[in-house]
Amino acid sequence: MTNDSKTSKLLASRRDFLRRAGAGSAALATGTLAAPYVNAQSGPIRWRLQTYSGAPLGAHVIKPQIDAFNTAANGEMVIDLYYADQLVPTSELFRALQNGTIDAVQSDDATMASPVDIAVFGGYFPFSTRYSLDLPVLFNQYGLNEIWAEAYGEVRGVEWLSAGAWDPLHIFTKDPIRSLADMRGKRVFGVPTAGRFLSRYGLIPVTVPWDDVEVALQTGELDGVAWCGFTEAYEVGWADICNYALSNNVTGAWCGSYFANTDSWNRVPPHLQELFRITIDQSHYYRQVWYWGGEAKLRVEGDKMELTSIPQEEWNQVVRDAEEFWDEIAASSERAGRVVQIFKDYSEVMEKAGVPYRY
């Protein structure tokens, strides 16, 4: 081989090396500065998340969070949001999450039929809170975070991520409730624990798909709802059908959580796990403000339902019955007993603290 041939091959080799190195550097620079991360083999991580709520309510209780996450994830991960019963019935959410049919869930423990001994405290546990701020304090400062993590740590395939507060529980009906006797025989759509408690006054809990509640109210299959506060009743249209709103509330805040399938969660890199947790906290904050302002405004200015009340001396009996209910639940398991004791300790602190914590 001549020297010219050797020189030509060497130069060609160097040009090829520089071309490949330059392309790699450009790709690195682009990835560092702007382009979303995409796994060369599988593409972006994609999740399916189903919430307990229908679309009108979901527009507030979860969609802002999912939109924020998808934007901030910058193409590395996309969460597809599904509303109540779109993929699976709400009562089957836990099993669907556990077997990987869906990747994540937003719901209370009781409604999604979680097989844990603290599921009864999800949703509305009678008189466990007075204000929505009580709930995050109970979880973050009084030990409920650790108890929920412990309970779900014993269940295969599901990660409990975070709990937050929703609205207080009121009863909205087509006919008025002005005494405990007026509850008797009324068929209401509601969450399991509150329905179980209120059934002792003759209220009849009825389960229908969330999207069917409005029609069931119109046809007479339901006499009312014991599912939410004023904000939701107005937002989803139930206030257009129910004529009366009972001002006595059974508890101060709904307790709902976020869950993920364990395998799905483990496939998410740490920085995106942290991003998801941050947007969950953002969602908790959004709901606190939305509900807190909405409840007061609609009780004062809402004109679709007439306010009624059960006399205080009669309602005091309900409060006393709740204490008995607490003790029944506490006896169901050692862990449930710990939760009830936390509620009792917290209530005692709040009562002693006085204004503005308790009046």
What is 105-127 written as a DSSP string? EEE-TTTTT--STTGGGSB--TT
Length of the chain: 359
Per-residue pLDDT tens digits for 114-164: 999 999 999 999 999 999 999 999 999 999 999 999 999 999 999 999 999
Residue 359 — pLDDT band, cuts 50, 70, 90?
A: confident
Residue 111, pLDDT > 70, answer yes
Q: What pLDDT was estimated at residue 15?
A: 44
Structure-token pair, residue 12: 């060609």
- The arithmetic mean of pLDDT across residues 271-290, rounded, is 97
Residue 10 — pLDDT band, cuts 50, 70, 90?
A: very low
3-state DSSP percent of the chain in helix, strand and coil, to 5: 50, 15, 35
Cα–Cα distance, 192 to 196 (Å, whole number): 6
- The arithmetic mean of pLDDT across residues 261-273, rounded, is 98
Per-residue pLDDT tens digits for 247-257: 999 999 999 99
* Domains of the chain in sequence order: 45-165+254-294 (3.40.190.170), 170-252+303-353 (3.40.190.170)
Query: What is the chain's mean pLDDT, rounded?
Result: 90
Name which residue leads in pLDDT, 335 or 20.
335
Amino acid at 12: A
Residue 11 — pLDDT band, cuts 50, 70, 90?
A: very low
**pTM exceeds 0.75, yes or no:** yes
Per-residue pLDDT tens digits for 173-232: 999 999 999 999 999 999 899 999 999 999 999 999 999 999 999 999 999 999 999 999
CA nearest 133: which of 166, 96, 178, 103?
A: 166
CA nearest 295: which of 230, 240, 228?
A: 230
Residue 94 — pLDDT band, cuts 50, 70, 90?
A: very high
- The arithmetic mean of pLDDT across residues 271-296, rounded, is 97
Q: What pLDDT was estimated at residue 272?
A: 98
